[in-house]
Amino acid sequence: MKNLRTDFSVIIPHILREDQDIQAWFTLKNEEYYRPSQAIAGLNLGFNTPEKKEQVAKNRLALLKSLNIDSDWVAYADQVHSNRVQFVTEGGTYPSTDGLVTRVPGLTLGIQVADCAAVLLWDDENHVIAALHAGWRGTVGDIVHSGVQKMKEQGAESSKIKSFISPCISLQNFEVGMEVAEQFPSQFVNYNDFDKPHVDLKNFLKYQLLNEDIPDDQIEIHEDCTISGADKFYSYRREGDKSGRMLALIQISE
């Protein structure tokens, strides 16, 4: 059964609700969650922030406890904006990787983001899941392809994979220089309506998922923008070094 109860505000993918063997969450900022010792207000879950590591650890433990997740049974990616994806079978932090795949029931995969997208994928029939960190570098480096291929190595099938693209930076706010814009297909860059090029990260990720033969009706894109939604999301572009991090989590139920 899905754990829909939590002490914190989270997003649960709509497309996930039919798949009884999979659970997934995307945490919100939860700005009201504050302790006097915190440098960053809210449920900051990122160790790569100015917050004391002890406080981030406490925040993570509070979240995991509320979701009934064993804190020793979570695999985290130590993200470096690469396209590297690893298959994992136990909890811990995996260095120099931006994607995790497992088929182990009960093992939770975690990806942290502030403006980048978290892409969660699952094949409920073959019991394979993935969590990918898709910033612009990882996206143009085709981390989606790397993740899907790693899932297929574990028995997943494209036609049965479902996916969720988390809240992230929107076309309206993703201003880039020409050196970045030119790395994206032109149909996903708006060169006309702004002073500088703007990239449509969400729809480029969807395009990549479709190219992996994942059916259109099995792809969910969350409409919110992390920069515009200051009340709900951390944003590195908006807050700089004072930005916290959200977590995307996915698990095959035991």
75 strand-pairing partners: 92, 109
Overall domain count for the chain: 1
Please give the pLDDT value at position 6: 65
Q: Is 5 part of any domain?
A: no
pLDDT tens, per residue, the chain with 254 residues = 344 446 899 999 999 877 789 999 999 999 988 778 889 999 999 999 999 999 999 999 999 999 999 999 999 999 999 999 999 999 999 999 999 999 999 999 999 999 999 999 999 999 999 999 999 999 999 999 999 999 999 999 999 999 999 999 999 999 999 999 999 999 999 999 999 999 999 999 999 999 999 999 999 999 999 999 999 999 999 999 899 999 999 999 98
Residue type at 21 in one-letter notation: D
In angstroms, the CA 114 to CA 136 distance is: 13
pTM (predicted TM-score): 0.96
Q: Is 3 part of any domain?
A: no
Please give the pLDDT value at position 5: 47
In angstroms, the CA 76 to CA 247 distance is: 10
Q: Is 1 part of any domain?
A: no
Helix H, strand E, coil C: the string for the chain is: CCCCCCCCCEECCHHHHHCCCEEEEEECCCCCCCCCCCCCCCCCCCCCCCCCHHHHHHHHHHHHHHCCCCHHHEEEEECCCCCCEEECCCCEEEECCCEEEECCCCCEEEEEECCCEEEEEEECCCCEEEEEEECHHHHHCCHHHHHHHHHHHCCCCHHHEEEEECCECCCCCCECCHHHHCCCCHHHEECCCCCCCEECHHHHHHHHHHHCCCCHHHEEECCCECCCCCCCCCCHHHHHHHCCCEEEEEEECC
Q: How many CA atoms lie within 13 A of 95 on its CB side?
A: 0
Give the CATH number of the domain where residue 42 resides: 3.60.140.10
**Residue 220: domain span:** 10-252
Please give the pLDDT value at position 100: 98
Residue type at 224 in one-letter notation: D
Q: Is 171 part of any domain?
A: yes
In angstroms, the CA 89 to CA 76 distance is: 12
Q: Is 4 part of any domain?
A: no
Q: Is 99 part of any domain?
A: yes
Q: Is 2 part of any domain?
A: no
Q: Is 205 part of any domain?
A: yes
